[in-house]
Structure 1
């Protein structure tokens, strides 16, 4: 309101303060308040930007770890699928004959032809046989200019390991071909006796190297000395992550791991490590351009390597900058609201020019909002996760480019469509309708659900779908927003892993069945002899007319027949490769079934069992057949370990209890125990101290237990012997 003219004061009254001074004071206060508000807003925006950067770094680290799981699976598959080949090849008569008669050209030629055929069928690079001096006697490339025959590889670590009776694993350049590869060796030890020679297979990692050339961010493998031997960045090959000691250099020269190369300069990296940051930052130059990466290392102790996967750290900086921009935009909107409120309070006192200035400012702010909307749209279109929005009638209202690429249909073909949608898989239409109806009823799966889609080109796409309500600006439910993640490759990798595990488990069950063959014959022989005796007695009693004894003999005959059927049923149940699956398993029942299977062997070996497993123990969650296989292998090993123990001390002790929230099952024997020098190799594949053993039992036992999220360990038993402890999770109530 316009200022009013005050009345003249009386002569005795003090003069009033001038109004211009009051206005100036109020203006200073207003400026100070706005300055404090802006400073607070800038502080909050800065903190929000830092939070967004940390969040993006954690998300990037999680993405790197998921990608690392896939790469680790590929590495283990490349290294593991040929690990059996040297062991099985060393058992063939032609190979043993070549070792026994190294001067016989005909014998060596037959070994050459056999090894050549095995290598061709397996698809490996090379397969060759060496004597104990490291001289190659036969090889799959015997008729090529770069034949291994006659070459000596005694300096190679994989040869020294195999000659010492262990499996060998070594990556390096070939001494003859100069081509890099993974060398896997195994000793030739027929019937578990002395080592006669060494069989080695060479596996190329070229396919893995070629696959890495298409990845966006760097990936590299380093050996135990820190030397890069596989990398998606060619200029990093044969560089070191740390300075090599003279001992390391001498070892590389002696083993000729990388040919004649003995100089390994450091990688052109500048490392930055943060206290709360996952992994570490690497600043380097690629293609003449300086870049920063977030790097995460994954040790592979079974291979002796370290896998390093990197992600572009520029995404973290962009996340911080996006948050700052959004924060500034919000602050600008709030500032605009405050200015609008002030202008509204003063609208009656301002002139028309001031009102026009206000409208101009509103248009400028509206333009900024339009730019922010365009920025948000571009950000959504850059996502790798598919996004799909539907209204309350199920009509598609929005799809991003990632979803269109996932289904093969363009946005113009999907927008406005009602179910059934064109990407629904024809074999899963009822299931699609079920999830659709659940969503429309307001009950979508909170944890997401797996859905199989049909791409436009006909291929199947496995996805995980997460759905949440879509709320408009007025707080009303206007539809549903779904995020769709492509998990096709992950499902394929899981299927391959399950198939490999099932094959290994079935092989061990068959091996255990072979060890039980003589016991099974002895076990069935008793009821069969009893059947024959009772049948003869029944015939005699029938001729004599003795009805009571006849009925008694027939009852005994039926009991023995049922006993024989029960023995066969248990053996058949153990041999089956397909199992029922996960269920609640009573510990007492598991132990009882396994002891019943081994009852004949226990009588034959004159071993008695002391079982202390209360029936009141809570059940464990797992696959009953696989858990019985673990207990059977452990008990069978305990029986065999007490062969030299005096008869009155041949006792196997089995007890179970709940400790620290987990089920602990202990199997203790009174045998000689495990030599401390062999303790680290007990769970290694193909390691065995039994003549004719495959060396897979304890390795598979540990794999099964770890698949059940459990732990298998062993320790010396006080007074002599060994105690194996199986720790499993208890079934939830």
Structure 2
């Protein structure tokens, strides 16, 4: 009796051990089954996601070819007409928003310009997608809108100028909410996480913007700056990382789940599927119980029928689970916005979803009569290769029409009986928008060419008129300037002869001195004319503005001291320009000399020289508190032989020569003046370039007026 009791105890112990081993083996097999199923389902989910993204992936780059956006960025002004155009594009493409930013990140045009949450005038320079585009790359960035509070995928592309300069950024915002709704409809628990393992799209709203890993202080600060997920903090989930042959594990509301993950192709995202650990354990328990019952059947033949019944029940449970899994797959395929077709190992179409039937105009009632079907009958060209990139083709409908599409082929089942998934998306709207852009570009180019030709003809006529006018003024001025001293000289010759005839040598000597002065005046006129019209040798080099200004002050120091003029030189920091040093010093001396003439009759004369740098130019201002000038005087101030000085002082060539010298040095000169308050002359010269842009210490050129 005792021996029988021990044997029974050992048998029960062996049954328990066998049951426990069966439980863990069954649990491992069920997890493996879920892993394979999740891999297939995640591939389907990923295909739908990539189809949505690829629909708009190249849209920002296409927008950059519109010259109207280049003109918008060059003007750097907010333009409602461009915003209205973007609104039309947005409605046609089905995107969430489209907007254009300048190089500083300020939005100049947006499709939502009429909304209370308009992007126009707002800066998004802190967004990574702006930085990516300004580096010449395409930006992909999912974030919560700081203005609208609505999340979306931001796809950006740089807008290039005529050279290698990036004028701004075109951005298309894509709403992924419909994709999330399809996940909810499939009754599956799906997550999509981005950089830093933060969940941003999910069939369970409770886990959105929560992290799969603890958030470091550095990442928290970065999220606070970029506001990628709004202003709220990002909290971490309780996640046990995946190990070798073991998926990750998540705890949500005291329930544990296995986390099956898969990286999204070409995007820095991961897609996840959750499976209840309790359901897996229940199935494993069922399997263990079946094993335990089978062992008991061998030991206790009397329980045979009962064990058969329990085994049948377990099989039915597994069958129901398989059917539910297949129903999940069918629900996903039928509800997705892309055309999906299943292909067998011979790459023949065996199943199609409703969207594919709609795209190709198939007769659903007679669909089974044409399946299996060769894909070449539906799209051309057809390449039977698995690729991560979407391929372009033309789709053929039953009514004989065709349409542009993108398709991709991926494997969803391995083994002897392989299966493939063919994803198809209609891009007719995108192609139509592209054609509209090309047509608008061609029309704009034609108008610009016509207008340019008209302007060229008008400019040539105006230039000819100006040349004739300038030649007439110059001829009259030269004749006037030379006739005065020549007339006086003729008079003095006659007077000198008379004095000699009368024997008055003192009077004759005085007359000869006056004649010599007139000869010097004519020589000075000739010299200045030669300077004005001469061929000059121009040497452009780095010149210190402070040194040039100090030189001009030293040259005019004697007059400054005699007139007791208060002078001031203002330079906040060293400014170096590219100019001809001698010519620049000549211009500054001439301006300072004119300023001294202007303030000689003022009670408290003052002259201020100010130098500063503005972007890539240097500005030099010479300001006096003299008598000033009226508008008519300023209009003719730079004309040859025009002078505001009285008593025959000045020939009116100094400012004309200064104007010509500055043009030779790629500079400009302008004047502003108020009668009774003084005048201010402004010189603008190119600043010294960066070291990487310089090709040498200086360059020489010959300039002819």
For the aligned pair, the TM-score class normalised by the smaller chain equals: 0.3 to 0.5
Q: Whose Rg is larger?
A: 2
* TM-score (ref. length: structure 1): 0.44
* TM-score (ref. length: structure 2): 0.46
Tell me: higher relative CO, structure 1 or 2? Use CA pairs within 8 A at least 6 residues apart. 2
